[in-house]
Chains A and B, each alone.
Chain A
Amino acid sequence: MEQLYEQIEAYLSGTLSTSEKAAFEGQMATNGDLAKEVRLHGLLQHEMGDVEKVALRTQLEEIGGAFDLSFIEAGGGFEEEDLAMEEGLFVVENLDDFLQNIVKQALMERTPPNPRLERKRLALVKSSVATEVVHPKTDVLCSDAIHFELGQASKQTVRLVLQNAKGKSMGIFQIPANQSTYTVSLANAVLFPSGVYYWTLILEGVPVVGRFFVCRGEDVERMVNRAL
């Protein structure tokens, strides 16, 4: 058998002499099993010899193996079947508009509408979160830092509070007087694990609130499902 393999490999790689090749093909013509065997070896060489594809398969195998889908088996997941899939995911092109909307939405959620106050708040905070991908259904904006740009620098120190979804304070920061921009890095995975967070700025006695998400590793979807 070992010899047969050697022979098939030599035939497939074209290293048989003309006479050997003719003899081998003669055998194949009369022996269906041999012909099948040669086809299979040829297919193997063709497929497994595609080094790049094999590398991709190997990588996908690893990523898929580590991916936790137990929440799907537990009946979790998405309610609306096609919405987000159809829309795909989109990258925010106009960050300012988007952020204004988030701030507005957060205000609506937290306080009864008061047009006068709302105008004032929006004028005070121009933008907040920095970056990346937004989930259309959940509004998830995965942040690696949050950046504040005040409409005008405050004359007093401005207090910034970050809280997790349970309301636990994750840090209180002071934005110095006369400074109009401030950035908080969310790179520390221990301080900021995956989850939803709220920020509150007290500007001249008026609280301004917003929400952001920290997404780490592959558990973004699960985290979102749990958080919302």
Chain B
Amino acid sequence: MNQTEYIYLQYITQNDRTGLQKIYSLFLPRIAKFIVANGGNVHDAKDVFQDAIVIIYQKARKDDFKLTSKFSTLLYGVCRNLWGNRLQKVSRRRVTFLEEDKYKDVVADLDNVMEKEEKSKLLWMAFKQLGAECQKLMQLFFGKKKMVEIVEVMGYSSLAYGKKRKYVCKERLVKRIKESEEYRLMIEN
């Protein structure tokens, strides 16, 4: 594959803001049009687009990843697949889009990652609903920062209070996850 195609992967693996903005500018409108034409809205489109980039990130950060198609074809393929899966869940019917064959090979070895990412997505959605303070606190906590450090960064008055806040925020997070339909399905399976 042409080296210029790899630049997009670099933008993603390096979390390069300008590069990522370029990816959004170049590819999101077309994917949004596809999703809007297939029963979604622009929020669904942004959501699917973000998930697709994270899925590609998961693959691309492994050293042995090789592009077998243009980056745009891969991105489009993953988005189609994610959107198809979501429609399928809602309608409980198999969903096939036009030109299925063209994208089948491109995303064939991504099935596993896509499934894992759907779980990860569930946690992220719950996390996003937390307030700013809890988000920051949870990020520090899961990032394995020591409690004393967390207390300092967050500007809490004492270690005991920091621990209390950590518990309250985590409780909220866990509660939101458990309330979601996806979690129920995940546990059932």
C-alpha gap A133/B4 in the complex (Å): 12
C-alpha gap A47/B26 in the complex (Å): 29
A56 and B57 contacting across the interface, CB-CB below 8 Å: yes
Given contacts A5-B170, A61-B50, contact A218 B21 (CB under 8 A): yes
**Chain A, range 46-63, C-beta contacts under 8 Å to B:** 47-49, 51-57, 59-61, 63
A1 at the binding interface (Cβ < 8 Å): yes
A184 at the binding interface (Cβ < 8 Å): no
Contacts of B49 in A (CB 8 A): 64
B150 at the binding interface (Cβ < 8 Å): no
C-alpha gap A69/B45 in the complex (Å): 9
C-alpha gap A43/B49 in the complex (Å): 23
B9 at the binding interface (Cβ < 8 Å): no
C-alpha gap A5/B177 in the complex (Å): 16
B144 at the binding interface (Cβ < 8 Å): yes
Look across to chain A and name the residue whose beta carbon is closest to the beta carbon of B7.
A91
Contacts of B32 in A (CB 8 A): 69, 72, 77
B156 at the binding interface (Cβ < 8 Å): no
From A45, A69, A89, A217, give the contact of B142 (CB < 8 A): A45
**Chain A, range 76-128, C-beta contacts under 8 Å to B:** 77-78, 81-82, 84-86, 88-91
Q: Shortest beta-carbon distance, B188 to chain A, in Å?
A: 11
B161 at the binding interface (Cβ < 8 Å): no
B5 and A88 contacting across the interface, CB-CB below 8 Å: yes
Contacts of A165 in B (CB 8 A): none
Look across to chain B and name the residue whose beta carbon is closest to the beta carbon of A51.
B143
Q: Shortest beta-carbon distance, B4 to chain A, in Å?
A: 6
C-alpha gap A176/B34 in the complex (Å): 52
C-alpha gap A88/B23 in the complex (Å): 11
Given contacts A45-B142, A47-B120, A59-B15, contact A64 B46 (CB under 8 A): yes
B50 and A64 contacting across the interface, CB-CB below 8 Å: yes
Look across to chain B and name the residue whose beta carbon is closest to the beta carbon of A68.
B42
B73 at the binding interface (Cβ < 8 Å): yes
B36 and A63 contacting across the interface, CB-CB below 8 Å: no
A60 and B142 contacting across the interface, CB-CB below 8 Å: no
From A1, A54, A63, A85, give the contact of B76 (CB < 8 A): A85
Q: Shortest beta-carbon distance, B184 to chain A, in Å?
A: 11
C-alpha gap A72/B37 in the complex (Å): 10
B50 and A69 contacting across the interface, CB-CB below 8 Å: no
0 or 1 for each of A206-228: is its CB under 8 Å from B? (1 = yes): 00000000000111111000000
C-alpha gap A222/B61 in the complex (Å): 32
A63 and B24 contacting across the interface, CB-CB below 8 Å: yes
16 contacts between A and B (CB under 8 A): A1-B167, A44-B142, A48-B139, A54-B142, A57-B124, A60-B54, A61-B128, A64-B46, A73-B36, A78-B29, A84-B30, A85-B72, A86-B72, A89-B72, A91-B4, A221-B29
Residues on B facing A (Cβ under 8 Å)? 4-5, 12, 15, 17, 20-21, 24-30, 32-34, 36, 41-42, 45-46, 49-50, 53-54, 57-58, 61, 70-73, 76, 99, 119-120, 123-124, 127-128, 138-139, 142-144, 164, 167, 170-171, 173-174, 177-178, 187
